């Protein structure tokens, strides 16, 4: 069960409680599910009971107690516990991780993408929003392209390009524009282009990415992050794009050689190294005569943490698209890399150990992690080499 499916399950439990007369509330349009926080347990947690407490006229724990048996009876859920003031902590059945890995391997680098017609459903985010079919927000006409535009500045063009890629991954049609064509070097090195060129005066009320809104009927969204303090082209395509995308839009990027250093302190290196390690494990396993197969990885060190961040990938893509914030995806990829690297030493057999179903399952999980890293880097316009 993915976070999207679990969010629907939580909402279904609320509807059942309302239909049964135990809760007198309007069923919300969204239910946020996240990894458990400090003091929590299980695979996911939701604060839906705290959200409904005031309109229901009950304490949050009472609302949680009403929802708990309905959640626990749902397919794919193993247990539900109540912690703190009324958080519902959800443990998935053992088959859920297998299904998650299988879904990632089936979808490939398109895992977490939607088709623009609700193919993958609503994608919850931590702020309580969701990506609807077309993902354009209230008042938008389905199928009408969102228009992004930016000044002729290298970081603005890179951020707009990555934002458009992420939004399109969520089924949102996008058109991009810039006040003038980019330099030939920007096109050659960074792959920067726009759909149209012309004036980019902001529509009334438009703001930088992360907080801006459409400028009314026919309005455009101005993409205007803090500009780059120096020419990033010397870093090359991948490092330059990372340097410009990793900081939040309002933060000033650092254009230094630190983005080229191959060491643990460089987040881009960690992400690409983690991807390359997963591909090396697949090659080494093939030499040993076995391949990946989704299966039970319970008990493998770090598997639970890794599964949680992989399951969170669709939510991150949805939130990055809604908030027009590619930095959210970049930071998520670092989280995935930091979760997968401690897991990898347990994947291959050691010494005289023979390959087993457990090794095939761990290899499948490692491949799934590498796939998420490759897909995320692709949306940022960055290469994910198999050898590093």
Residue of higher predicted confidence among 351 and 176: 176
Its domain, for residue 319, covers 267-379
Any idea which of 82-96, 120-134, 198-212, 222-236 has the lowest mean pLDDT?
120-134
Q: Please state the domain count of the chain.
A: 2
Judge whether 32 lies within some domain.
yes
What is the pLDDT at residue 211?
Answer: 37
From the CB of residue 186, how many other CB atoms can be counted at a distance below 10 Å?
20
Whether 156 is covered by a domain: the verdict is no
In sequence order, the β-bridge partners of residue 221 are: 148
Out of 66, 93, 120, a domain closes at 93
Q: What is the mean pLDDT of the chain?
A: 85
pLDDT on residue 298: 65
Q: Using alpha carbons only, give the angle 40, 1, 33 rounded to the nearest 5 degrees.
A: 40
Q: 271, 136, 99, 301: which is closest to 217 by C-alpha?
A: 136
Task: Provide the pLDDT for residue 119.
Answer: 36
The residue length of the chain stands at: 388
Cα distance between residue 273 and residue 293, in whole Å: 23
What CATH number corresponds to the domain at position 295?
1.10.730.10
How many degrees, rounded to 5, is the angle at CA 361 between CA 359 and CA 362?
A: 65
In a domain, 66, yes or no: yes
CA distances, 83 to each of 61, 269, 361, 387 (Å): 9, 38, 32, 45
Q: Establish if 304 belongs to a structural domain.
A: yes
pTM here is: 0.73
d(CA 252, CA 243) in angstroms, rounded, equals 10
Q: Given this model, what pLDDT does residue 202 score?
A: 41
Torsion, CA 335, CA 338, CA 340, CA 346, rounded to 10: -160
pLDDT (mean) for 174-190: 91
pLDDT digits (tens, 9 = 90+) for 248-307: 999 999 999 999 999 989 999 999 999 999 999 999 999 999 999 988 776 677 788 898
> Average of pLDDT values for 308-312?
88
pLDDT value of position 266? 95
Is residue 200 predicted with pLDDT exceeding 80?
no
Boundary (domain end) residue, out of 93, 123, 145: 93
Mean pLDDT of 238-256: 96
pLDDT over 90 (residue 120): no
Domain boundary among 76, 93, 110: 93
Could you tell me if residue 161 is inside a domain? no
pLDDT at 117: 39
Tens digits of per-residue pLDDT, 321-339?
999 999 999 999 999 999 9
């Amino acid at each position: 069960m993915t976070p999207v499916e679990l969010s629907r399950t939580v909402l279904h439990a609320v509807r059942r409680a309302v239909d049964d007369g135990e809760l007198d509330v309007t069923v919300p349009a969204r239910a946020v599910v996240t990894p458990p926080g400090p003091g929590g347990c299980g695979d996911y947690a939701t604060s839906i009971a705290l959200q409904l407490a005031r309109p229901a006229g009950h304490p949050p724990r009472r609302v949680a107690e009403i929802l708990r048996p309905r959640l626990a009876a749902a397919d794919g859920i193993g247990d539900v516990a109540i912690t703190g003031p009324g958080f519902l902590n959800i443990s998935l059945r053992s088959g859920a991780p297998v299904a998650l890995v299988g879904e990632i391997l089936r979808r490939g680098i398109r895992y977490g993408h939607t088709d623009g017609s609700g193919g993958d459903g609503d994608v919850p985010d931590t702020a309580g929003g969701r990506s609807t079919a077309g993902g354009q927000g209230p008042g938008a006409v389905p199928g009408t392209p969102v228009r992004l535009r930016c000044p002729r500045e290298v970081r603005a063009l890179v951020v707009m390009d990555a934002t458009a890629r992420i939004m399109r991954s969520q089924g949102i049609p996008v058109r991009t524009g810039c006040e003038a064509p980019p330099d030939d070097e920007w096109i050659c090195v960074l792959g920067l282009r726009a759909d149209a060129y012309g004036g980019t005066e902001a529509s009334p009320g438009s703001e930088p990415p992360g907080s801006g809104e459409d400028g009314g009927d026919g309005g455009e969204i101005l993409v205007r992050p803090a500009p780059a303090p120096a020419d990033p082209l010397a870093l090359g395509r991948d490092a330059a794009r990372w340097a410009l995308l990793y900081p939040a839009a309002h933060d000033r990027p650092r254009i230094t050689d630190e983005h080229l250093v191959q060491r643990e302190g460089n987040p881009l290196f960690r992400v690409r190294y983690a991807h390359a390690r997963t591909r090396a494990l697949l090659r080494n396993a093939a030499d040993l005569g076995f391949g990946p197969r989704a299966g039970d990885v319970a008990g493998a060190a770090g598997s639970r943490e890794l599964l949680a961040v992989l399951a969170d990938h669709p939510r991150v893509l949805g939130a990055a698209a809604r908030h027009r914030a590619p930095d959210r995806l970049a930071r998520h990829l670092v989280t995935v890399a930091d979760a997968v690297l401690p897991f990898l030493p347990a994947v291959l057999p050691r010494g005289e150990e023979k390959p087993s179903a457990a090794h095939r399952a761990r290899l499948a999980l490692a491949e799934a992690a590498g796939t998420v890293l490759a897909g995320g880097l692709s949306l940022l316009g960055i290469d994910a080499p198999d050898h590093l």
